[in-house]
């Protein structure tokens, strides 16, 4: 079953749970309800929203990830389920025991796929597209020559114009990119936790203050999808993170993608990709199944 993404951006609302349904009320009148087991991601983007403790814990029980947004409408925190995999100890042991050569090889695969995705966001006759594809072919184990960083210097000006700088605190469309990346970070983290993996133990990212290092590793292969959607918004001169812009970004989670020759909704395919990572950790496989 494809899990649903629920965006609570209007309000004030009150969220509660009844008969295993998330109930959304306004001014003490019910305006909607959704089965808790159907929800994959709940985005709460209205500071006037209130909710019961049981609503949050029931959603988490069913494997939902809850994203809380601040007054600036950008995600400020993530709630994840912690007890939905009975293999968590075994998985954690294999994750910790993964060799450095394996982690470097997996990071190489991720960086290559990220750069190829960036290249495909540019027209076929754009000179930067060829530069990016050449860089992708030259990524080494662990990306020791920082092809990822080199690609970014070519890619962003080619995508959004010579004056654009990718800066989380910068001018639009950075706000749209921030939102999309955080949504994907939450979705990837949900798939990792569901597989019994620890989000803080990354392949490449290792900031001790970052609890989502592994999620930040894996979202790299999806960033170009967010970039393409944001580019389309920019072409239509949409720079404000309003309800319609958010919906277009959220639609990416149900987009059909191909992994290992099989097509399916992105939220479902995330579990296929993470399962391949589990096999790399546990069985010594050398190749991850990544989006084509």
Q: What is the pLDDT of residues 64-113, one digit of tens each?
A: 889 888 887 777 788 888 765 567 788 889 999 999 999 999 999 999 99
> Which residues, 6+ apart, have CB-to-CB distance to 251 below 8 Å?
none
The answer regarding whether domain 88-283 maps to CATH 1.10.10.10 reads no
pLDDT exceeds cutoff 70 at 157: yes
The SS3 call for residue 23 is: strand
Tell me the pLDDT tens digit for each residue of 220-246: 999 999 999 999 999 999 999 998 999
What is the distance between the alpha carbons of residues 243 and 233, in angstroms, rounded to a whole number? 13
First to last CA, the chain: 22
Q: What angle do CA 174, 180, 181 make, to 5 degrees?
A: 85
Please state, as a whole number, how many other Cβ atoms lie within 10 Å of the Cβ of residue 144.
10
Q: In CATH, what number does 4-79 get?
A: 3.100.10.20
Comparing 4-79 with 88-283, is the CATH topology the same? no
| DSSP secondary structure letter of residue 122 | S
Q: What is the pTM of this model?
A: 0.84
Domain boundaries, the chain: 4-79, 88-283
> Across the chain, what does the average pLDDT equal?
92
Q: What local confidence, expressed as pLDDT, does residue 270 receive? A: 94
Q: What local confidence, expressed as pLDDT, does residue 197 receive? A: 87
Please state, as a whole number, how many other Cβ atoms lie within 10 Å of the Cβ of residue 273.
22
């Amino acid at each position: 079953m494809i899990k649903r993404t629920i965006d609570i951006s209007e309000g004030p609302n009150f969220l509660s749970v009844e008969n295993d349904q998330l109930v959304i009320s306004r001014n003490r009148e019910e305006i909607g309800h959704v089965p808790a087991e159907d929800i994959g991601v709940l985005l709460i983007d209205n500071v006037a929203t209130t909710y019961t403790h049981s609503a949050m814990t029931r959603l988490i029980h069913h494997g939902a990830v809850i994203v809380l947004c601040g007054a600036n409408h950008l995600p400020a925190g993530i709630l994840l389920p912690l007890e939905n995999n009975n293999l968590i100890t075994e998985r954690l042991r294999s994750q910790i025991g993964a060799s450095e050569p394996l982690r470097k090889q997996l990071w190489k695969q991720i960086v290559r796929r990220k750069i190829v995705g960036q290249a495909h966001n540019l027209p076929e006759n754009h000179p930067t597209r060829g530069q990016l594809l050449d860089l992708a072919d030259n990524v080494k184990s662990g990306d020791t020559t920082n092809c990822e960083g080199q690609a970014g210097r070519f890619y962003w000006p080619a995508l959004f114009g010579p004056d654009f700088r990718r800066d989380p605190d910068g001018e639009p469309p950075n706000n749209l990119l921030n939102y999309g990346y955080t949504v994907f970070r939450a979705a990837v983290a949900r798939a990792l936790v569901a597989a019994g993996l620890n989000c803080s133990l990354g392949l490449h990212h290792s900031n001790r203050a970052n609890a989502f290092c592994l999620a930040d590793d894996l979202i790299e292969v999806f960033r170009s999808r967010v970039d393409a959607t944001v580019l389309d918004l920019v072409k239509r001169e949409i720079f404000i993170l309003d309800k319609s812009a958010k919906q277009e970004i959220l639609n990416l989670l149900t987009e059909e993608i191909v992994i290992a020759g099989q097509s399916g909704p992105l939220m479902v395919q995330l579990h296929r990709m993470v399962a391949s990572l589990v096999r790399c950790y546990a069985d010594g496989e050398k190749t991850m199944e990544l989006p084509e």
